């Protein structure tokens, strides 16, 4: 079985989004990862729903929406209306995480919870059976092109161990600083889904780069 690859559009050329989307459509990319930032939860602002809605019109690939915002529960309807398959909310941004997860599922999306680099996977013990995916940040969220944080490999292994012990079918996704080398180690540790931004979009042959990541 191949690895699921979700290129992050944050590293795309925003002046040529249409051709970037056509490239992704031609490629073997499994999903498209969309990073929404609010300048409050993270020190950066990216793009919002008007952009996501237009992107939805030009691709059939599942959208994996990563919300780096405070109070993501306010936008469950908007994310669902944009046609997202996965709605990723940060553990650190949700006081009532269980309620948010139920809301996401009620709107027909797959709930995923994201952990910042400093948040241990053990906080997910009780919520794990309710999740379709856990997204481990392997950089501090907010920017593309940052250096991979090494402990993410051990963290991936610890989460895989928790999933096996609880016998859930939760996917493990890792985001930040992913390339062929870090991707290999993450897959060995138990990752199912790799998000890659700059590694894909700064590559001379992005379609081939996506193919090679899937073969890890």
Rounded Cα distance between 178 and 124, Å, is 23
* Binding status of residue 141 toward ligand DX5 by CB under 6 A: yes
Token pair recorded at residue 171: 């996917």
Contact code string over 153-192 relative to ligand DX5, x by CB under 6 A: ----------------------xxxx--------------
The four Cα atoms 7, 9, 14, 19 give a dihedral, to 10 degrees, of 40
Residue of 20, 30, 35, 173 that binds ligand DX5 (CB under 6 A)? 35
DSSP 5-51: EEEBGGGS-GGGHHHHHHHHHHS----EEEEEEBSSSSS-B---HHH
Q: How far is it, in rounded angstroms, from Cα 216 to Cα 207?
A: 15
Residue 46 CB, shortest distance to ligand DX5, in Å, is 9
Say whether residue 142 binds ligand DX5 (CB under 6 A). yes
Annotate each residue in 39-68 with x if it binds Zn ion (CB under 5 A) or - if it does not, as one string: ---------------------------x--
Asked if 173 is part of the footprint of Zn ion (rule: CB under 5 A), the reply reads no
* Binding of ligand DX5 by 72 (CB under 6 A): no
Whole-angstrom Cα Rg for the chain: 16
Residue 117 binds ligand DX5 (CB under 6 A): no
Catalytic hit among 38, 64, 132, 175: 175
Catalytic residue numbers read 35, 175
């Amino acid at each position: 079985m191949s690895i699921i690859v979700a290129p992050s559009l944050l590293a795309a050329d925003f002046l040529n989004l249409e051709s970037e989307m056509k490239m992704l459509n031609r490629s073997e990319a499994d999903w498209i990862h969309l990073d929404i930032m609010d300048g409050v939860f993270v020190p950066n602002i990216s793009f919002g729903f008007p952009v996501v809605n237009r992107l939805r019109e030009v691709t059939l690939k599942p959208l994996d929406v990563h919300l780096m915002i405070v109070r993501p529960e306010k936008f469950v309807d908007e994310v669902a209306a944009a046609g997202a398959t996965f709605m990723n909310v940060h553990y650190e941004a949700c006081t009532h995480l269980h309620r948010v997860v139920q809301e996401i599922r009620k709107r027909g999306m797959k709930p995923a919870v994201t952990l910042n680099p400093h948040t241990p996977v053990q906080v997910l013990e009780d919520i794990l059976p309710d999740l379709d995916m856990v997204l481990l940040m392997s950089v501090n969220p907010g920017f593309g092109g940052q250096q991979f944080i090494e402990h993410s490999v051990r963290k991936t292994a610890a989460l895989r161990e928790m999933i096996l012990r609880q016998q859930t079918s939760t996917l493990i996704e890792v985001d930040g600083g992913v390339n062929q080398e870090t991707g290999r180690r993450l897959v060995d540790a138990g990752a199912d889904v790799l998000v890659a931004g700059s590694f894909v979009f700064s590559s001379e042959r992005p379609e081939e780069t996506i193919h090679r990541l899937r073969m890890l």
